[in-house]
Structure 1
C-alpha cells in the first residue's frame, strides 16, 4: 500500500510518520512538508510550499491518505488564515489525492466538529468533514479527538491548562472528554486505513486512550 501523510511535522502527524515507518503494510510512504523532516525514515519527503492552487505532482498517486493538517487561530493570525489551512488546504490536498487515485482518506478532526456549530473552529472542522465525505473516496474515516496530549514546539497555555484540568477531573467526566495521547491517535488513524467502504466517524473514546 502507498500511504500519504499530510501534516507530518505536527504532534499527531509526526507520530503517524514514526509508526508508519515501522508498519510492514506500507511499501511507500509520502510525507510532503514545507520544510525538510529531520528524520523522515523510509518516507519520501517532497518539499512543497502548499500554495493554493496546488500544482500537480506524481507523488500524489497513493492508495490512502492520513491528514493531520491544522493550525490554531493564534498561529494563523486571523480567521481567514485559519480557514485557508484547516479548510481550503485540506480539501485541496484531498482533491489532488482523489484525482490521482486515492481511495481512502483518514482525517484527524476534532471533538464537536459540526458544520452548524456556533464555534468558528468546530464549524470549520465540520465543513471539512462534510466536504471530504462527498468527494467520492471509497472509505472516509473522521476521527474526533478531545484534547491532544503531546509535546509541542509552540506554546499553548490554554491547552496546557485544559489538559491539567482534564487529568485532575478524569474520574468525574465522561471518557470522551479525557485527553488522548498523540501516539494513541496515530495508532488508530493507521489502523483505520484498512477496512470496508463508507464514512466512519470515530468519537474520542474510540481513539485508543492510554
Structure 2
C-alpha cells in the first residue's frame, strides 16, 4: 500500500487505515524502544504512546521523508523521555582518530547460529543502550546511516563515529567475555 495514500485516508477520517502503520512498523518500534528502555513492559508502553502521538500529529507528517523514519523518531524520543536515560555514556571512550583504522575490522566467528545469537544478545545487554540501538538499527535492521540520523536526531558524522565506537566496544566485550570460544576463529 502507498503510505502517502494511507496517510491521506487517515486524515480524511478513515481511522482504520492507520492499522497499516501499526502492523508494518510495530516490530521495529518495539526493538527501538526495548533497546532504550531495557525491558519489554516499558518498551510496549512507549510504542503504544508513540502510535497515539503519531496518530494525533499525522497532519504534521511531510511526505518528503519516509513514514518509518518519522515514526521511529517519535518512538526514539518517547523512549528517551520515558527512561530519561543518558544513552551515550560509556565507561571507555575511543579516540575519533582511530575510527578509520578499526571501523572495518570485523569478527569472523564461525559458531552455530544459536550460540552466536546468544553471545550477541549477551553483549548487547552489557553495552550502553544508545550503542546497542545503533548496532541494532545498522546491522540487524539494515538501516543506512542517513535514516539512523533521522531516527536518532544525530548528524550523520556523529552516527558514524558512534557506530565505530559501538563496534569497538562490542568487539572488546566479546573478546573479554568469550575469549575461550572465539580465540581460534577470530581473524584480525
TM-score normalised per structure 2: 0.25
Higher helix share: 2
Task: Please say which structure displays the higher CA radius of gyration.
Answer: 2
Q: Give the number of the structure with larger relative contact order, counting CA–CA contacts within 8 Å between residues 6 or more apart.
A: 2
TM-score normalised per structure 1: 0.23
Higher strand share: 1
